[in-house]
Amino acid sequence: MDKLVIEGGVPLHGEVKISGAKNAALPLMASALLAQGSHRFHNVPRLRDIRTMQILLKNMGAASEHDKVMEIDASRIGSPEAPYDLVKTMRASVLVLGPLVAKYGHARVSLPGGCAIGARPINLHLKGLEQMGADIALDHGYVIARARRLRGARITFDQVTVTGTENLMMAACLADGTTTLKNAAREPEVCALADYLCAMGARIEGAGTPTVTVTGVDELRPSSCTVIPDRIEAGTYLAAAGITGGSLRLTGCRPDHLEAVIQKLIEAGMSIRAEGDVIEAAANGRINSVNVKTQPFPAFPTDMQAQFMALMTLGSGVSLISEKIFENRFMHVLELRRLGADIDLDGRTAVVRGVKHLSGAPVMATDLRASASLVLGGLAAKGVTEVTRIYHLDRGYECIEKKLSAVGARIARVKE
């Protein structure tokens, strides 16, 4: 396994090109199952999760090539199945469920099981498919879903679910009749998926609002699109500028996807200017301690909670960080403490008391965004920080050590 070795204390300065969004690319790849033929996706990031989705699709018979463009040919789907050994490494595999049932009338998808940040059930996905007429059975850890043809339904989500909205939106495209999804997720990745489904011939209205309406059609045709920029990667680099006392210019961004994060970073004392697809961010001396509560888009995203907490460890006072989406997304707290952070946990709220500086130490990544927060801590800490188990990081950050080195970080990937 690899680890990252970071010599901290260096302010970052320079330009970072933001990659395509993992959480936009994954549902787009799954949507290729809805239409036979060749789908082409531009700006797909080179990440571990993307490769996992490629393997999953290949296992079903959908070949894919990922050169400058990703091309997926879903003309010959054999076994509509997502096996446990793949699903357990990437929960987003569940996104093939809706398309397979809608297009092929049956699917056998492993239950994802728990993960580091929470139980993360898929009951809302399954309940929605049942409301659309699918027979759902659980068998030896697998979901067996069958439907001659899904029918439109009025579905209200008990709570906002991003992949639940995406799964049912895809399933509804080929259903008989109209489906209404209420309390739907409004994330940019959901809107990007809806745009692509419409390019394939689907009839969808209201994506990006709490109520999405899908009028089923008989067939979809393959198309192409460009993956939107990764708002969480961008937010992570903005936090890197803040925590190191530097200034970064991010290009290839969508600032409108990042407004809640930008607002909180400005409250934390940073200077941030957004124009077109560029965000310029600079630290301004001491960091203000501000409170954050994670909520669905357009509010502050849970995927930025760990990175923002790293910044708050150097705050001027006390920051209360409430994690309202996942029940166990504070695994990074124990590791940040090893870097000298002063953090107490009170249920789903972290009390972060700012310290003068962090000190380098060996730390261990536990999940994707926790590993990003440890890298940020290491960039600011005096001395050397080693981050192990960075396969978590490789799931969602393209060439992170190259991008950071290019703006002055003293960081290297070494074989453990």
List of residues contacting ligand EPZ (CB under 6 A): 23, 26, 91-92, 118-125, 159, 161-164, 302-303, 325-326, 368-369, 396
Locate the DSSP E strands across 63-146.
Answer: 63-66, 69-73, 81-82, 106-110, 135-139, 142-146
185 vs 48: CA distance, rounded Å: 25
* From 115, 198, 253, 399, active-site residue: 115
Which residue lies nearer to ligand EPZ by CB, 142 or 289? 142
Least distance to ligand EPZ from the beta carbon of 162, Å? 4
Closest CA to 260 of 297, 210, 208, 305: 297
Yes or no: say if 165 and 212 are a contact pair by the CB < 8 Å rule.
yes
Least distance to ligand EPZ from the beta carbon of 302, Å? 5
Which residue lies nearer to ligand EPZ by CB, 23 or 247? 23
Query: Does residue 198 have an active-site annotation?
Result: no
Yes or no: say if 264 and 308 are a contact pair by the CB < 8 Å rule.
yes
Least distance to ligand EPZ from the beta carbon of 408, Å? 26
59 vs 173: CA distance, rounded Å: 24
**Spatial strand order in the sheet of 410-415:** 362-364, 384-388, 2-7, 410-415
Which residue lies nearer to ligand EPZ by CB, 249 or 254? 254
Which residues, other chains included, contact 82 with Cβ-Cβ below 8 Å and sequence gap of 6+? 56, 93, 94, 96, 97, 107, 108, 109, 110
Whole-number Cα distances in Å, 215 to 84, 106, 160, 249:
33, 21, 21, 42
Cis peptide before 298 (omega within 30 of 0): yes
Closest CA to 190 of 222, 152, 228, 232: 228
Residues in the chain: 416
40 vs 73: CA distance, rounded Å: 9
For 238, phi then psi, to 5°, come to -65, -45
Yes or no: say if 27 and 189 are a contact pair by the CB < 8 Å rule.
yes
Helix (H, G, I), strand (E, B) or coil at 414: strand
75 vs 72: CA distance, rounded Å: 9
Yes or no: say if 196 and 213 are a contact pair by the CB < 8 Å rule.
no
Residue 229 CA, distance from chain mean position: 12
28 vs 71: CA distance, rounded Å: 11
Least distance to ligand EPZ from the beta carbon of 48, Å? 12
The catalytic residue positions are 115
